[in-house]
Structure formats: structure tokens, C-alpha cells
Amino acid sequence: MIEPRPVVEAPIRVLVVDDHPLLREGLTATLRKQPDLEVVGEAVDGVAAVEQFNTLSPDVTLMDIQMPQMGGIEAIERIRELDPTAAIVVLTTYPGDSQAMRALKAGASGYLLKSCIRKDLLQTIRAVHAGERAISAEVAQAIAMHAMEERLSEREASILRLIAEGHPNKQIAWQLNLAQDTIKGHLKNIFAKLDVTDRTHAVVVAVRRGFIDL
């Protein structure tokens, strides 16, 4: 009697997206050691990521957030328009809850801190390929901690970006075509939402939570 041959499953095809060549090299070297994983492509920014995804149709995409030309969150949105079932894992240095929520809302299946890559990367790829969600514990804790808090509006985030660039209220009002009293009112709301009492601390907290980038 001839025994049936065991079914050999195809490897999980992975696209690696990051603008830092050393990190891409490290990721691809790690993945290529795994018999069930295959690196099918690399991209240096969001524009290339969308193009590569459209050409290669990977099973899982590893996506950096902060990249030139097109950032990771916009790239996630574009990819999910191409394929609503696309499995995308964000790789980021920042554990901010606001940035994580934007990425997950855009369609990310996983959110992994780069500091956790050695420990959690392979398990995360396999989990999202199986249809699960995978979020770093530190990020999940930050999301839970701020879940009930009111988030900054896009206008408030714009004001904070200008503050971070060193602009006084008068210049911010001129750039945004608003009255100075309106800017002061927005700042009052920002301070309340972030639980701070001054502009410098507001910028620090906003960056840490991912409301703005510097």
C-alpha cells in the first residue's frame, strides 16, 4: 500500500517596508532562516510599498510608520483599498496610543514595537496570517489607559505642530487664518485633554502619545 505524501504548506510570503536599510537587512535575514516564511520583496517608503503590494500580493506586510514620501498609515489605507483582507503588521519605535489607534483604524492587523522584534516578530507574523490580531503589550496598555479620554482634533494637532516648531500664538493664528483668541481657546482645550499646564509639556505628551511627529 502506498502511503500518501504529507501535505507541504506554502511558506508565508512577506513584504518588508522600512526606510532604514540596516533594519530591512536584519528583518530579511531573520525571516529567511524560517522554513515557513519567505521574503518576497522590500520597499523603502509608502509609495513603493503600495506598488510592491500590488505587484507581489504578499500574505503579510511589515510596515514602518514614519517614512519619506508616504507614511505607513496612508500606505496601509491604500493597500487595504487594493485588498480589504490584507494582513499588515506595523513596526514602530513609538508606543503612543493615538498613533496605534490610527494604524489599527486604517486596517493594520498587528502593532509591534521595534524593541520587541527579536522576541515577538515571528509569532506576530504567523498570528496575523492566521487571521488574528497581535498588539505589543505596552501599546495595548497605553490604548486601554487612554481609551475613555477625548482625543485631539486635527485642528488642535496642527496647532501643536506649529508650537513644536517654535511659533507664537500670533504667527499660528496668521498661518491657520484664525483669531488669536481662537488659538487661545484651542490651547485651553489641548491642555485639558492632555492634562498639562504649559505649551512645552503639551508638545512632549502629544509626541509621546503619537498625536504629532517631530
Q: Is the pTM of this model over 0.85?
A: no
Reported as a pLDDT band with limits 50, 70 and 90, residue 142 is confident
Which residue would you say has higher pLDDT here, 182 or 209? Answer: 182
Reported as a pLDDT band with limits 50, 70 and 90, residue 1 is low
At 5 the pLDDT is: 58
At 209 the pLDDT is: 82
Mean pLDDT computed over 178-183: 91
Reported as a pLDDT band with limits 50, 70 and 90, residue 211 is confident
Reading the block at residue 5, the C-alpha cell is 505524501
Domains and CATH numbers, the chain: 12-146 (3.40.50.2300), 154-209 (1.10.10.10)
Distances (CA, A) of 191 to 119, 166, 208, 214: 37, 17, 15, 19
Q: What is the pLDDT of residues 149-169, one digit of tens each?
A: 778 888 998 999 999 999 999
Q: Is the dihedral of CA 105, 128, 88, 56 positive or negative?
A: negative
pLDDT at 4 over 80: no
Say if CB 71 and CB 44 are below 8 A apart. Answer: no
Least confident segment among 6-20, 113-127, 156-170: 6-20
At 141 the pLDDT is: 86
Nearest to 123 by CA among 37, 59, 191, 63: 37
pLDDT at 11 over 60: yes
pLDDT at 135 over 60: yes
pLDDT at 10 over 90: no
pLDDT at 148 over 80: no
CA distance 153 to 200: 19
Three-state DSSP string of the chain: CCCCCCCCCCCEEEEEECCCHHHHHHHHHHHHCCCCEEEEEEECCHHHHHHHHHHHCCCEEEEECCCCCCCHHHHHHHHHHHCCCCEEEEEECCCCHHHHHHHHHHCCCEEEEHHHHHHHHHHHHHHHHCCCCEECHHHHHHHHHHCCCCCCCHHHHHHHHHHHCCCCHHHHHHHHCCCHHHHHHHHHHHHHHHCCCCHHHHHHHHHHHCCCCC
